[in-house]
Amino acid sequence: MLVGLNTNDDAAVYRLNEDIAIVHTVDYFTPVVDDPYDFGQIAAANALSDVYAMGAVPLFALNVVCFPAAYIDVLKEVLRGGNDKVKEAGALIAGGHTIEDEEPKYGLSVTGIVHPEKVIKNSTAKPGDVLILTKPLGIGVINTAIKGEMCPSETYLLAVEVMKYLNKEASEIMKEVGVNACTDITGFGLLGHAYEMAFSSGVTIEFDKDSIPLIEGARELAQMGLIPGGCYRNKKYLKGKVCIKVEEDEVIDLMFDPQTSGGLLISVSEEKAEELYRRLNKKLKFGAFIVGRVKEKQEYDIYVR
């Protein structure tokens, strides 16, 4: 076993031989948008992200479905969305399992491959590294606003596009350039997943609050108090691990905000950072952002300045 329960990495990795290792993950959740086709795409993109974060290529996926029997037509659209997104990733749906459940849930169990010597972990960030984020934040706040029917349509549509967008190209580019560590940003928020990287790597991560990218409209919704419960749970979990050296406001809330199908947080040496940043910005739909640095281990795992 190359990567298992002993780390906080995004997926399990099992070496088959000298040239091939299997990467495996599973993720599913309740609907975050009203449109079933969009929901299917978002759930699939989210599950595939764990494989991309480890520098692997997805091969196939199995549907994981919990759904009310009375809404089969809706489920068909969810599955169509998931299938189309998996095809976009260059993989295929090879089956799955369905149970009847009053609360709908959908996701994927994804299998990919990677060379055993080219696995990208979240536990190998090095002091001096530059941190690059590949999607803006704000999904949790926006989803809360959607549920409360308080989200402007343009913010809603943008958030859906962000969630549906695959981390495929970001993963391919970081592999070509060569990076030290990576994780994808999902339910624990930027600070939660950064903590896992810092703790596992034995380093401290320092973020620049003013460089944190936000989905247009997310800041205004956070100012209105539309903060999801997951944000407060993340804050509680990270108490004593994060030191905030600036005035706390809605941007800090958005750094704790749980994301659905967020971007990659990449730790790259300073020598390669400019090339990676340039290539990501040239290729990615939502750009890339230098958000912080990796430091030698200090009192706290994370500092926000």
SS3 141: helix
16 and 22 in contact (C-beta within 8 Å)? yes
DSSP state of 257: P
Residue 51 to residue 45: CA distance in whole angstroms: 10
Residue 93 to residue 125: CA distance in whole angstroms: 33
According to DSSP, the β-strands at 57-67 and 204-207 are unpaired
Q: In what order do the strands lie in the sheet with 12-15?
A: 12-15, 21-29, 105-114, 57-67, 92-100
**Is 9 annotated as ligand-binding?**
yes
- CA-wise closest residue to 42 among 197, 156, 131: 156
**Is 55 annotated as ligand-binding?**
no
**Is 98 annotated as ligand-binding?**
yes
217 and 154 in contact (C-beta within 8 Å)? yes
144 and 33 in contact (C-beta within 8 Å)? no
**Is 96 annotated as ligand-binding?**
yes
**Is 184 annotated as ligand-binding?**
yes
**Is 27 annotated as ligand-binding?**
yes
SS3 304: strand
Residue 130 to residue 267: CA distance in whole angstroms: 6
**Is 111 annotated as ligand-binding?**
no
DSSP state of 224: T
Phi and psi of 16, rounded to 5°? Answer: -90, -45
Feature table: binding site: 7-10, 27, 50, 96-98, 184
Feature table: binding site for Mg(2+): 10, 50, 184
Feature table: binding site for ATP: 7-9, 27, 50, 96-98
